[in-house]
Amino acid sequence: MAPPGITALDVYLRDELIGEVHRPGSGRMTFIYAPNVSDTHDGERLLSVGLPVRAERYPNRAAKPFFEGLLPEGTLRERIARDFHVGYDNGFELLARIGAECAGAVVVVPRGSGAPSEEVSVQWLSEDELHEKLIAAPLDPLGVHDRRVRLSLGGVQDKLVLTKTASDQFGIPLDGAPSTHILKPDQERYADIVANEAFCLRVAACLRLPTARAEVMRLRDLDCLVIERFDRTLISGTRVTRLHQEDFCQALGILPANKYEADGGPSLTTIIEALREFSDQPARSVTDFVNAVVFNFLIGNSDAHGKNFALLHGAPGSCALAPLYDLVCTAVYDVSTDLAMSIGGEVRPEAVGEAAWREFARNADLNPTLLVGTTLRQLAERTVACATAVRGMARTEGWFRPVIDDIVRVCEARATQLLALAG
């Protein structure tokens, strides 16, 4: 637990101390790179493409979006803040308590605490204990009631962040040790959302889109989605190494609360511009992203906002579009159907016609004829074929749920809509 009255947080990238976060006032955060880092890495994009290395301090307006983007959102954040007796808006104090294991390679700890070890430090769970943790997830988000669990992950959905062995045993990483997997249990509010997300991820993989790996696990009476973290890698079977990533709200300096385009969040065009500027494989990253945009439209995912796409960093100055994640058909639920990011200025899926796709292409400096005449047609045909094939696999593997039939119907209807445009 963070000591009282802490005024600064150390920021590590993997095991290297790179800077400090300070709070100049309530709800505010500033960031400054360590002198040795600014001297040797000036201008490099170590932490974020939006925070290149420099000697000068980054003010709140630049620093806060990145560090707030490391924290959970919505009711998940409310419950964690309440558990730690911290104000909901006090991102600094929340990071002091749970920032030791975040998305990407970032580690945020109270000044002087030292970087958590990448050696495995895990409380291994029996099947009964894992089931209890999943059942308790709504009341114990991320499992942080145990004060030795110091991890944070963005998003609003209940989840556990765990370490998994090759023999399929799960455990809770302790004292900031890196995790390897995310477990999302089914929710009462959204029927069979585990099968929904598993199906959409498998269809994306069938299309050879870069996609996070996931599988459905049945634990007693509960379905859960087991997602392999693409920002972690296992070395020698005992050491988990963090790989750095940042979502596009962090990269573009946008607070998580503004992740939707209508609230000032990223647009499709701004993400494509960022990929062209920052990716070391810009053509491939842009193609992958455009394919992802079309795919999300086809599967009826209206919640593909700026935090649901990310940059995966490699060597200093090297990054590319991260594998796709949080792929869910929202069209089968009673939620808004408006697209999180408009296509050619249109947010109503049924109204996204040829003019909207061509406008999107022009705004993004793409070839409109190629997009409408080839990309839309090919992805529409292939997505229906893959959806049908994956539905059969779900039946064979035992995780088929009725929602999958609903998703296939959405795919077929959206594909018909796109094929009509392509002639």
Residue 65, number of CB atoms within 10 A of its CB: 23
| Of 76, 45, 263, the residue nearest 159 (C-alpha) | 76
> 168 and 85 in one domain?
no
Residue 168, number of CB atoms within 10 A of its CB: 8
Active site residue 303: yes
CATH number at residue 170: 3.30.200
In the numeric block, the tokens 């990011």 are attached to 341
> 134 and 83 in one domain?
no
| Of 197, 198, 207, 86, the residue nearest 152 (C-alpha) | 86
**Of 87, 110, 133, which residue is a domain's last?**
110
Question: Range of 162's domain?
Answer: 122-235
What's the rounded Cα separation, in Å, for the pair 118 and 187?
32
> 330 in a domain, yes or no?
yes
Helix axes 282-299, 193-206, angle to 10 degrees: 140
> 187 and 148 in one domain?
yes
> 368 and 292 in one domain?
yes
What's the rounded Cα separation, in Å, for the pair 80 and 58?
27
Counting the structural domains of the chain, the total is 3
In the numeric block, the tokens 């419950």 are attached to 79
**Of 213, 235, 257, which residue is a domain's last?**
235
Single-letter amino acid, residue 191 = A
Q: Report phi then psi at 11, rounded to 5.
A: -115, 120
Tell me which of 303, 326, 365, 406 is the catalytic residue. Answer: 303
CATH number at residue 252: 1.10.1070
> 225 and 271 in one domain?
no
What's the rounded Cα separation, in Å, for the pair 96 and 332?
39
Predicted structure pTM score? 0.92
> 307 and 220 in one domain?
no
Residue 159, number of CB atoms within 10 A of its CB: 22
What's the rounded Cα separation, in Å, for the pair 310 and 285?
11
Find all residues with CB under 8 Å of 412, minimum gap 6, and list them: 384, 387
Each residue's pLDDT expressed in tens, for the chain with a length of 423 residues: 445 568 899 999 988 999 999 999 888 999 999 999 999 999 999 999 999 999 999 999 999 999 999 998 888 888 888 888 899 999 999 999 989 888 899 999 999 988 776 666 788 899 999 998 888 876 655 554 444 443 444 444 678 888 888 788 898 888 777 888 999 999 888 999 999 999 999 999 999 999 999 999 999 889 999 999 999 887 665 678 889 999 999 999 999 999 999 999 999 999 999 999 999 999 999 999 999 999 999 999 999 999 999 999 987 778 999 999 999 999 999 999 999 999 999 999 999 999 999 999 999 999 999 999 999 999 999 999 999 999 999 999 999 999 999 999 999 999 999 999 866
**Of 192, 215, 235, which residue is a domain's last?**
235
> 260 and 214 in one domain?
no
